[in-house]
Amino acid sequence: MQVALVGVTGYSGMVLYRLLKQHPEIDRIQLYGHVGATTVALKTVAAMYQKETAVIRPFDATAIMRDNAIVFFATSAGITRQLALPFIAAHFPVIDLSGDFRLHDPEQYQRWYQRDPAPATALAQASYGLADMPAPLSTYIANPGCYATATLLGLAPLAQQQLVEPTSIVVDAKSGLSGAGKRATAASHYVAVNDNLSLYKLNQHQHIPEMMQQLQQWWSAIPAIEFTTTLIPVTRGIMATIYAKAKSALTTTQVRAAFTATYHEQPFVQVLPTGMPTIKDVVGSNNCVLGVDYNPVTNTIVVVSVIDNLMKGAAGQAVQNFNRYFDFAVTTGLPTLPVFP
């Protein structure tokens, strides 16, 4: 099979290229960049790929659809919605790593992304591809956000089995710097990040509405969640620590059983039998590892969810959705072990 990738020069695109190269069902990857750009060799823009012979061609929707079975967009939010419309019109398969088609409601997109949304008719054709909670996929798959993935996998059993007070959910999420993409800013300057922690986008993070959209499908009684994001001085990895009041007194064993029941058939989701996961437990893998606890003193459930933001949070989940879309075994071409240590 031949597949197209737009945005190989970004962090997610580079990880996706590596995964697609190793995928046994993929014979060839066609790379595309900006509209009207000249064709360049991949190795000239990615110095670590000196032995790669691939070239990056200018974006051309017609050529992509003619030559490939599917296109992956690893492009920035705001860009994909400008490039993807011909594929939607043609019902050509797309896996989109950006946030442009995750929200069904265009007003929500305008509010949280502060940009014009894609047309409502186009948004209606997209499906939200939370790959470890399988639901039917349309030809346009909106890959979930990295924080949203970690948080939703940590909350799914609690929401679906209605184990918590629906108004009590608090999520304290932390991410490594690669989550911010390759462009440096004052906030991502080495001095700002190293030996430091900084909380950002308080109550304004763009993943809040996609999490609410999904949570309310699972349990409409959840009105909102408190969600904070903190930048931590690591390259890869997200840890979401979730707190919620139990609806009735439980034990840690009962909470864990709820998680195990949800995920026992999911090869990438591990529920720890004891203790809490660390970021290094997942880096380099497509896994999500979950630790759970119930504190009877405060009647609080604590869930810790860790993922690699560039794997499960982006490229890995994109390949998992590719496998689901084409009915390949879901683990095909995907690492289930971290690069520990």
Ligand X SMILES: NC(=O)C1=CN([C@@H]2O[C@H](COP(=O)(O)OP(=O)(O)OC[C@H]3O[C@@H](n4cnc5c(N)ncnc54)[C@H](OP(=O)(O)O)[C@@H]3O)[C@@H](O)[C@H]2O)C=CC1
Ligand Y SMILES: CC(=O)N[C@@H](CCC(=O)OP(=O)(O)O)C(=O)O
Q: 55-84: which residues touch ligand X (CB under 6 A)?
A: 59, 74-77, 79
The one among 3, 4, 5, 11 contacting ligand X by CB under 6 A: 11
Backbone angles phi, psi at 242, to 5 degrees: -115, 130
Q: 260-279: which residues touch ligand X (CB under 6 A)?
A: none
d(CA 74, CA 93): 14
Report helix angle 207-218 to 106-113, nearest 10. Answer: 140
Backbone angles phi, psi at 21, to 5 degrees: -60, -35
Cβ atoms of residues 270 and 338 within 8 Å: no
Cβ atoms of residues 256 and 292 within 8 Å: yes
The residue behind tokens 């620590």 is 241
Residue 59 binds which of ligand X, ligand Y, none (CB < 5-8 A, kind-dependent): ligand X
Q: What mask, x for binding ligand Y by CB under 6 A, covers residues 197 to 236?
A: ---------xx---------------------x-x-----
The answer to the question of residue 183 lying near ligand X (CB under 6 A) is yes
Cβ atoms of residues 109 and 117 within 8 Å: yes
- CB 173 → ligand Y: shortest distance, Å? 9
Residue 229 binds which of ligand X, ligand Y, none (CB < 5-8 A, kind-dependent): ligand Y
The answer to the question of residue 127 lying near ligand Y (CB under 6 A) is no
DSSP for 44-73 reads HH-GGGTT---EEEPP-HHHHHHH-S-EEE
The answer to the question of residue 128 lying near ligand X (CB under 6 A) is no
The answer to the question of residue 173 lying near ligand Y (CB under 6 A) is no
The one among 3, 8, 70, 77 contacting ligand Y by CB under 6 A: 77
Stretch that binds ligand X, among 8-16, 18-26, 113-121, 331-339 (CB under 6 A): 8-16
Q: 28-47: which residues touch ligand Y (CB under 6 A)?
A: none
Residue 316 binds which of ligand X, ligand Y, none (CB < 5-8 A, kind-dependent): none
Residue 323 binds which of ligand X, ligand Y, none (CB < 5-8 A, kind-dependent): none
Euclidean distance between the first and final Cα of the chain, in Å? 35
Cβ atoms of residues 23 and 8 within 8 Å: no
Residue 11 binds which of ligand X, ligand Y, none (CB < 5-8 A, kind-dependent): ligand X
Residues noted as catalytic: 146
Backbone angles phi, psi at 96, to 5 degrees: -110, 115
The one among 154, 179, 284, 316 contacting ligand X by CB under 6 A: 179
Cβ atoms of residues 300 and 241 within 8 Å: no
Report helix angle 252-263 to 146-160, nearest 10. Answer: 110
- CB 229 → ligand Y: shortest distance, Å? 5
- Interface contacts to ligand Y, rule CB under 6 A: 77, 98-99, 145-146, 175, 179-180, 206-207, 229, 231
